[in-house]
């Protein structure tokens, strides 16, 4: 379980707190959605989960984050990456290898898995995202959707127990979004905790998360099941979010 | 009246590529249209857009058959700079099309390139800032803008060159929903004022209600063409990977398919008009 | 060790509007060039002190004290080496000191110029100096993209660190190899940005005509004339000071 315990964080040189007294718990086997307008602290929250904050991003942090009981201040990002894998928006920020296979092996090698384990994980990860057939190709020869799936495979191969993803659907077409949903559902099915930061509520609704957190100005404004959160149209709208269409229609029908 | 843009049986293969990006594409676009181009990533949308302002064949190397006429002029015989006065192109990535450090300078940039006199440049900057509702951004540094603001500035810069047609390649794909909706609204307004708009987009929920015409591209070919209402309410569009917006699904659910609403507002109106509701 | 966030700060020192910053960029450039040339007129200590003191009004007008201090602090090691080497080769403390003050004058002139001149003005200046379009715009575009590329580097490092990547470990040779996962994405992303930018430039008719017009126009105000006269007076006085000690004319190396 990941426990975020009363965290307040301010980036160095910034006048505002990016997160204010945020507390939440993330369990395995569930899909969590983190939503909120730009600047709400969603990306900052993600960076707490694997120790990027406080090790890499400088600033002032109060409170603590525990990953299976281990305080993130006391473990390195490399160590935490074995438990919590973070996937960022632009896959091209990762790629530097000649083949897809090598790229996916980089993570496991860096965290010190042994060769037999690496072989097995890489195969598993590539199969999970449906890229095993393309393993000899160059990463940059892939389509946009394939690159996105490759970036996920690169993290999955480290066999983390939590997968945290930052805006996976940006720039993706409907087919790609659909395959991403399948991947995340499968991960949940395999007992992993999946944390997704997104502004695409329509897609998130279809994915079927277990819990949704709404952030604004660094504060968790509301949390609950998707139905609860998405049907509170007023709350979403005042926080700069567009609810999934079916909820908008349902609410308007009730009024009328 | 002759069409503004004419693509005549174009097949184009990028240099070094085995298969053509576009095959036997023919399309006519008239003044005042709002054309929505849908299709999966890699289907050829971007390639088609680059035919319209001459980037193909002048900037991209490859083999092109057929021709493209912009207001009667063959794109092979005019430079991209010349064509820029007729056809403006706005790209997907907000950062990679902003060249200068300040918003007003950015809008002036293309006009300076064309050698327009200073008074005219100032006039056009004023006009375009007003039209897009971004006068407050005039002296701002381009580095400090949000993604949505950058795209508005990009549109403004292109608009200032007073092209007849504005072409946009997935302008909202990297933006949040609010900024995306704003862009769609701005384009709708421009179209109402007479600017011909051509957009390649995945966000059909935002753009289909504004479009007067829609085409679907798959594997380099135009496979569907027609009015958005007609196309999105047929059963088979998802065969080409394009998913109709949620409103279509909801319309089916509530039994108001006859009205063929494309936006939530239209759906509600159809429901209120007492068209049969079947909440099964 | 790696502090990309800090490195970007260097480009962001703004002190807001000052009397100096409101000047015509050409004036600022002439002042800058004058105070680079002045110390070179002669090697006498007197000349160097004169060059330094003459810039004090400019430091005040441009509020660049902070930047001057920082530049000098950054060059401290170099300055010390310079004094030592000069003294060892000439055995003249006076000469060594003069050489150091010459360097300091130039550093100050640069700091003043950089504080009070915005990147956009530098671009306009290059155009005014009739430097070819391609070069001027390479400069402007580079300035535009420095923060963008800096953000890319931060994201690249963030992504790789999240894959267990560690830069700190290993010998020097190993560290160089470890830069590969940072350098390759950096280069590829920069190239991709460059390519898209080139498309955008084409679309905005860049290079369509040699006779580019100019939106931004700079006036000459009272402040410009005052400071240009000031610069002229300083140069004349400097030449006179230079001729006072005939054996130190124009960059001698031995005394």
Residue A19: both structure tokens together: 């997160």
B241 touches chain A (CB under 8 A): yes
Can you read off the two tokens belonging to residue B86?
């007729």
Residues of A within 8 A of C185 (CB-CB) are: 92-96
Torsions phi, psi for B24 (to 5 deg): 50, 55
CATH of A1-77+199-256, one of 3.40.50.150, 3.40.30.10, 3.40.50.300, 3.10.180.10: 3.40.50.300
Q: Measured between CB atoms, does B171 come within 8 Å of chain C?
A: no
The domain tally of chain C equals 2
User: A193-197, B109-113, C25-29, C166-170: which range is least confident on average?
Assistant: C166-170
Averaged over C53-73, what is the pLDDT?
88
Which residues lie below 8 Å from residue B179, measured CB to CB, with a gap of 6+? B146, B147, B148, B149, B151, B172
C12 confidence band (pLDDT: 50, 70, 90)? low
In this prediction, residue C93 carries a pLDDT of 82
How sure is the predictor about A241, in pLDDT bands with cuts at 50, 70 and 90? confident
> In this predicted structure, what is the pLDDT of residue B127?
96
pLDDT value at residue B239? 65
pLDDT attached to residue A94? 96
Residue B1 CA to its chain's centroid (Å): 23
Q: Distance (Å) from the C-alpha of residue A82 to the closest C-alpha of chain C?
A: 8
pLDDT surpassing 90 at residue C97: no
C159 vs A78, A88, A140: nearest CB: A88
Q: What angle, 0 to 180 degrees and rounded to 10, lies between the N-to-C axes of helices C25-37 and C119-128?
A: 80
Give pLDDT, residue B280: 38
Statement: residue C252 has pLDDT above 90: no
The predicted pLDDT at position C86 comes to 86
**Separation CA C81–CA B106 (nearest Å):** 46
CB contact under 8 A, C162 and A81: yes
C219 CB within 8 Å of a chain B CB: no
Flag whether C111 is in a domain. yes
Both C35 and C71 in one domain: the answer is yes
> What pLDDT shows up at residue C14?
60
What is the ipTM for the molecules in this complex? 0.94
pLDDT above 90 for C118: no
* CATH number, domain B1-86+163-236: 3.40.50.300
Q: What is the mean pLDDT of residues A232-240?
A: 88
Q: What is the DSSP string of A1-53?
A: -EEEEEEEEEETT-SS-SEEEEEEEE-TT-EEEEE-STTSSHHHHHHHHTTHH
CA distance B213 to chain C (A): 25
Residue C4 in any domain: the answer is no
Tens-place pLDDT, residues B93-135: 999 999 999 999 999 999 999 999 999 999 999 999 999 999 9
pTM: 0.89
- What pLDDT score was predicted for residue A254? 77
Q: Which residues of chain B have pLDDT under 70?
A: 237, 239, 274-280
Mean pLDDT, range C106-127, rounded to an integer? 88
Kindly indicate the confidence band of residue A132, based on its pLDDT and cuts at 50, 70 and 90: very high
Q: Is-contact A226 A247, C-beta < 8 A? A: no
CA–CA gap between residue A237 and residue A215 (Å, rounded): 13
Q: Are residues C104 and C140 in the same domain?
A: no
* pLDDT at C128 (0 to 100): 86
> Would you state the pLDDT for residue C95?
85
Is residue C160 assigned to a domain? Answer: yes
| Residue B10: strand, helix, or coil | strand
Q: What is the mean pLDDT of chain C?
A: 84
Residues of A with CB under 8 A from a CB of C: 12-13, 47, 50, 52, 56, 58, 76-78, 81-82, 85-86, 88, 90, 92-96, 106-107, 110-112, 140, 154-155, 158
Residues C227 and C117 grouped into a single domain:
yes
Residues C143 and C198 occupy one common structural domain: yes
From chain C, the residues in CB contact with A13 under 8 A are 5, 9
Are both C187 and C236 inside the same structural domain? no
Nearest to C204 among B59, B84, B122 (CB): B84
Per-domain boundaries in chain B:
1-86+163-236, 98-162, 245-280
Residues of B in contact with A252 (CB under 8 A): 264, 268
Residues C161/A56, Cβ–Cβ less than 8 Å: yes
What are the structural domain ranges in chain A? Answer: 1-77+199-256
The reply to whether residue A173 touches residue B202, judged by beta carbons under 8 angstroms, is yes
- What's the mean pLDDT in C115-143? 87
Residues C34, C160, single domain; the answer is no
Quick one: closest CA in B to C194, which residue? B96
Which residues form the domain of C232?
20-123+218-248
Residues of C in CB contact (< 8 Å) with A are: 5, 9, 152, 155-166, 180-181, 183-185, 188-189, 192
C33 belongs to a structural domain: yes
Q: How far apart are CA C184 and CA A97, in angstroms?
A: 9
């Amino acid at each position: 379980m990941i426990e975020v315990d009363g965290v307040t964080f301010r980036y160095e040189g910034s006048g505002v707190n990016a997160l204010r007294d945020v507390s939440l718990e993330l369990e395995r086997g569930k899909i969590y959605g983190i939503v909120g307008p730009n600047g709400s602290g969603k990306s900052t929250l993600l960076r707490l989960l694997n120790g990027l904050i406080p090790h890499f991003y400088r600033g002032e942090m109060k409170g603590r984050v525990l990953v299976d009981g281990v305080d993130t201040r006391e473990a390195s990002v490399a160590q935490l990456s074995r438990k919590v894998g973070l996937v960022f928006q632009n896959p091209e920020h990762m790629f530097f290898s000649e083949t897809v296979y090598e790229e996916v092996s980089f993570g496991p090698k860096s965290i010190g898995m042994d060769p037999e384990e690496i072989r097995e994980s890489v195969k598993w990860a590539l199969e999970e995202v449906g890229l095993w057939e393309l393993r000899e190709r160059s990463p940059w020869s892939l389509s946009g959707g394939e690159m996105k799936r490759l970036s996920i495979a690169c993290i999955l191969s480290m066999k983390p127990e939590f997968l945290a993803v930052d805006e996976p659907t940006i720039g993706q077409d409907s087919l790609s979004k659909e395959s991403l949903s399948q991947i995340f559902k499968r991960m949940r099915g395999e007992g992993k905790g999946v944390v997704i930061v997104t502004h695409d509520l329509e897609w998130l609704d279809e994915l079927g998360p277990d819990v949704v957190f709404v952030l604004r100005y660094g504060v968790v404004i509301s949390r609950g099941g998707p139905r609860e959160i998405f049907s509170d149209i007023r709350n979403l709208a005042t926080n700069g979010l567009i609810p999934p269409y079916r909820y908008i229609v349902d609410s308007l029908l009730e009024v009328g | 009246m002759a069409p503004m843009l004419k693509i005549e049986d174009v097949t184009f293969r990028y240099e070094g590529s085995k298969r053509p990006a576009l095959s036997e594409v023919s399309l006519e676009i008239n003044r005042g249209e709002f054309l929505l181009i849908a299709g999966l990533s890699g289907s050829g949308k971007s390639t088609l857009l680059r035919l319209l302002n001459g980037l193909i064949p002048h900037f991209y190397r490859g083999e092109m058959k057929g021709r493209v006429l912009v207001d009667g002029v063959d794109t092979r015989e005019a430079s991209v700079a010349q064509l820029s006065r007729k056809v403006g192109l706005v790209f997907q990535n907000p950062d990679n099309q902003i060249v200068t450090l300040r918003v007003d300078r950015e809008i002036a940039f293309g006009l300076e390139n064309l050698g327009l006199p200073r008074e005219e440049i100032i006039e056009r900057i004023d006009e375009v800032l007003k039209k897009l509702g971004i006068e407050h951004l005039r002296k701002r540094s381009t580095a400090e803008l949000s993604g949505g603001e950058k795209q508005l500035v990009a549109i403004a810069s292109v608009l200032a060159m007073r092209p007849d047609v504005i072409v946009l390649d997935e302008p909202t794909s990297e933006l949040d929903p609010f900024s995306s909706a704003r862009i769609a609204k701005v384009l709708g307004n421009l179209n109402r004022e007479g600017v011909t708009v051509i957009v390649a987009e995945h966000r059909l929920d935002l753009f289909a209600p504004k479009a007067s015409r829609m085409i679907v591209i798959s594997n380099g070919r135009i496979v569907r063409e027609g009015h958005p209402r007609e196309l999105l309410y047929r059963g088979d569009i998802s065969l080409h990977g394009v998913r109709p917006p949620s409103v279509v699904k909801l319309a089916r659910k509530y039994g108001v398919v006859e009205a063929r609403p494309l936006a939530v507002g239209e759906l509600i109106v159809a429901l209120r008009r007492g068209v049969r509701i079947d909440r099964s | 060790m790696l502090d990309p966030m800090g490195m970007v700060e260097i480009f962001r020192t703004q002190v807001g509007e000052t009397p100096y910053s409101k000047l015509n960029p050409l004036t600022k450039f002439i002042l800058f060039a004058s105070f680079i040339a002045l110390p070179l007129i002669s090697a006498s200590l007197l000349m160097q002190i004169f060059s330094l003191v003459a810039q004090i009004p400019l430091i005040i007008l441009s509020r660049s004290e902070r930047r001057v201090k920082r530049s000098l602090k950054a060059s401290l090691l170099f300055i010390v080496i310079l004094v030592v080497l000069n003294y060892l080769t000439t055995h003249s403390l006076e000469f060594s000191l003069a050489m150091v003050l010459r360097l300091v004058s130039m550093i100050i002139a640069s700091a003043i110029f950089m504080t009070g001149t915005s990147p956009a003005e530098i671009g306009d200046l290059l155009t005014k100096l009739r430097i070819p379009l391609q070069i001027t715009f390479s400069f402007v575009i580079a300035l535009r993209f420095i923060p963008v590329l800096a953000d890319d580097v931060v994201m690249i490092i963030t992504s790789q660190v999240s894959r267990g990547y560690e830069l700190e470990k290993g010998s020097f040779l190993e560290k160089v190899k470890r830069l590969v996962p940072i350098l390759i994405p950096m280069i590829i992303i920069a190239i991709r940005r460059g390519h898209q930018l080139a498309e955008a430039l084409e679309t905005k008719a860049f290079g369509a005509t040699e006779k580019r017009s100019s939106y931004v126009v700079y006036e000459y105000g009272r402040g410009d004339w005052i400071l240009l006269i000031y610069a002229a007076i300083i140069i004349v006085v400097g030449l006179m000071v230079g001729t006072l000690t005939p054996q130190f004319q124009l960059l001698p190396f031995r005394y």
